[in-house]
């Protein structure tokens, strides 16, 4: 057996095992970490297919950013795993039927009829051709318009995230340097004009209050 | 092409061995006599009052999602950079291919300015 085939089966086995652990792990944080392992192995398989850019992007975007978000969300939601597990057996028959239906759909859609090897005759790629460059040529010529729309979608996501999660907390004691710099003298110090005090012993008992505060 | 990544594979394997070997050796070589008393609180320790997992501030989520979005933007820059010479040397797409990425980034800079102006990047 070729070395690449051995590597493929190794990556695929670890991928399937960790994907199984994602849905069976009791601790949600462990599930997220197993998902990270699954992504790493998927990147390995893509690398075996010589899809360099996709493999690196998977590690960079999914492992580096999306899984961090998942970890935050898991920690933020305060999941009570015992409560989630209640009623597992009573929902199992219905859930099982739906899962089987979805499995059938996936086999029909992603099966060999459309995605089999015979449907992809293999492009005539030169020996030293770079997968990344081929991808870029398509992305920046044929798919230039969807590419620009992707940036708009990202913009909407930024605005939505800021709108949904940004709220000022009133109880913090943080000081903004810009506010400090903008402070005028009158905001801090007030000069109060008052009469100079005369001999206090002469006016003892009288209502000699200074003007102002 | 894959031969170039062989050293990466070696790195992964060495890293795995480096992480797993001490744990496995500790498990199999060291004496292993578990006891409930060894894990219990002693002396000044006390039983935990509540679950250690508490709610995080939603602010961490905001920082993470802004990071993801700009990470994605960067990911699109790499294929563009890989064919940049080609774009510049082809008269037909010279201007278009060059401007295209700046339009892409310009739209995202609007989002960046928005997040900045709203104070989403501040940490009170």
ipTM rounded to 2 decimals: 0.79
CB atoms within 10 A of CB B67: 15
Confidence of residue B122 (pLDDT cuts 50, 70, 90): confident
Q: B54 to chain A: which residues are within 8 Å by CB?
A: 78
pLDDT value for A125:
62
Q: Please, are residues A47 and B5 in contact by the beta-carbon 8 Å criterion?
A: yes
Q: Is the model's pLDDT at B2 over the cut of 90?
A: no
Range with the largest mean pLDDT of A9-18, A50-59, A187-196, B115-124:
A9-18
pLDDT value for A152:
93
- Cβ of A73 within 8 Å of Cβ of B68? The answer is no
CA distance B112 to chain A (A): 8
- Domain locations in chain B? 2-117
pLDDT value for B40:
84
pLDDT value for B15:
95
pLDDT value for A205:
54
Joined together, the tokens standing for residue B124 give 């009170």
Q: Is the model's pLDDT at A212 over the cut of 60?
A: no
pLDDT value for A108:
87
**Residue, of B95 and A124, whose pLDDT is higher:** B95
Q: Is the model's pLDDT at A35 over the cut of 70?
A: yes
pLDDT value for B91:
82
Q: Which CATH number fits domain B2-117: 1.20.58.1610, 2.40.50.140, 3.40.190.10, 1.10.10.10?
A: 1.20.58.1610
**Residue, of B6 and A129, whose pLDDT is higher:** B6
pTM for the model: 0.74
Q: What percent of chain A has pLDDT over 90?
A: 29
Question: pLDDT tens digits, residue range A45-67?
Answer: 999 888 888 999 999 999 988 88
The alpha carbon of residue A18 and the mean position of all alpha carbons in its chain are separated, in whole angstroms, by 20
CA distance B19 to chain A (A): 14
CA distance A78 to chain B (A): 6
- Cβ of B66 within 8 Å of Cβ of A161? The answer is yes
Joined together, the tokens standing for residue B106 give 């310009």
Q: Give me the residue from B9, B58, B73 closest to A76, CB to CB.
A: B58
Interface of A with B in 56-75 (CB under 8 A): 56-57, 60-61, 64-66, 68-69, 72-73, 75
Q: Nearest-CA residue of chain B relative to A40? A: B12
pLDDT value for A126:
64
- Cβ of B62 within 8 Å of Cβ of A166? The answer is yes
Interface of A with B in 73-132 (CB under 8 A): 73, 75-78, 130, 132
pLDDT value for A200:
66
- Cβ of B118 within 8 Å of Cβ of A162? The answer is yes
Residue from A70, A153, A154, A156 whose CB has the most chain B CBs within 10 Å, to mutate: A154
Q: Nearest-CA residue of chain A relative to B115? A: A162
A51 contacts chain B (CB < 8 A): no
Q: Please, are residues A137 and B80 in contact by the beta-carbon 8 Å criterion?
A: no
Confidence of residue A211 (pLDDT cuts 50, 70, 90): low
CA distances (Å), origin A189, targets A179, A213, B28: 16, 13, 72
CA distance A24 to chain B (A): 20
The residues, any chain, with a CB within 8 Å of residue A63's CB and separated by 6 or more, are A36, A39, A40, A43
Q: Give me the residue from A68, A136, A150 closest to B80, CB to CB.
A: A136
Q: What average pLDDT score do residues A98-122 get?
A: 83
Pairwise CA distance, residues A197 & A213, whole Å: 15
CA distance A110 to chain B (A): 27
Confidence of residue A42 (pLDDT cuts 50, 70, 90): very high
Q: Please, are residues A153 and B109 in contact by the beta-carbon 8 Å criterion?
A: no
Question: pLDDT tens digits, residue range B45-90?
Answer: 888 787 776 777 778 888 888 888 899 888 999 899 988 888 888 8
Q: What average pLDDT score do residues B30-39 get?
A: 86
């Amino acid at each position: 057996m070729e070395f690449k085939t051995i590597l493929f089966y190794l990556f695929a086995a670890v991928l399937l095992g960790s994907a199984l652990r994602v849905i069976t792990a009791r601790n949600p944080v462990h599930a997220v970490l197993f998902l990270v392992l699954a992504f790493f192995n998927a990147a390995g398989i893509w690398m075996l297919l010589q899809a360099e850019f996709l493999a690196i992007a998977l590690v960079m975007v999914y492992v580096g950013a999306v899984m961090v978000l998942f970890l935050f969300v898991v920690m933020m939601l305060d999941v009570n795993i015992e409560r989630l597990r209640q009623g597992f057996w009573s929902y199992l028959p219905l859930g099982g039927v739906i899962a089987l239906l979805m499995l059938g759909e996936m086999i029909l859609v992603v099966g060999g009829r459309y995605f089999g090897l015979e449907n992809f005759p293999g492009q005539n790629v030169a020996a030293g051709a770079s997968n990344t460059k081929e991808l870029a040529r398509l992305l920046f010529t044929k798919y230039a318009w969807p590419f620009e729309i992707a940036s708009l979608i990202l913009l909407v996501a930024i605005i939505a995230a800021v709108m949904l999660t940004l709220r000022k907390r009133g109880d913090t004691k943080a000081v903004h340097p810009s506010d400090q710099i903008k402070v005028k003298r009158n905001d801090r110090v007030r000069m109060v004009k008052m009469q100079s005090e005369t001999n206090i012993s002469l006016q003892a008992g009288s209502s000699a209050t200074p003007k102002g505060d | 092409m894959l031969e170039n990544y062989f050293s990466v594979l070696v790195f992964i394997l060495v890293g795995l061995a480096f992480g797993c070997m001490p744990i496995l050796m500790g498990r199999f070589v060291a004496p292993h006599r578990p006891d409930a008393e060894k894990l219990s609180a002693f002396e000044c320790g006390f039983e935990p009052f509540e679950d250690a997992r508490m709610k995080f501030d939603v602010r961490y989520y905001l920082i993470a999602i802004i990071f993801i979005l700009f990470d994605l933007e960067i990911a699109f820059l790499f294929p563009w950079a890989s064919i940049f010479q080609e774009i510049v040397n082809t008269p037909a797409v010279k201007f278009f291919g060059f401007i295209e990425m700046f339009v892409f980034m310009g739209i995202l800079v609007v989002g960046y300015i928005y997040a900045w102006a709203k104070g989403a990047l501040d940490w009170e």
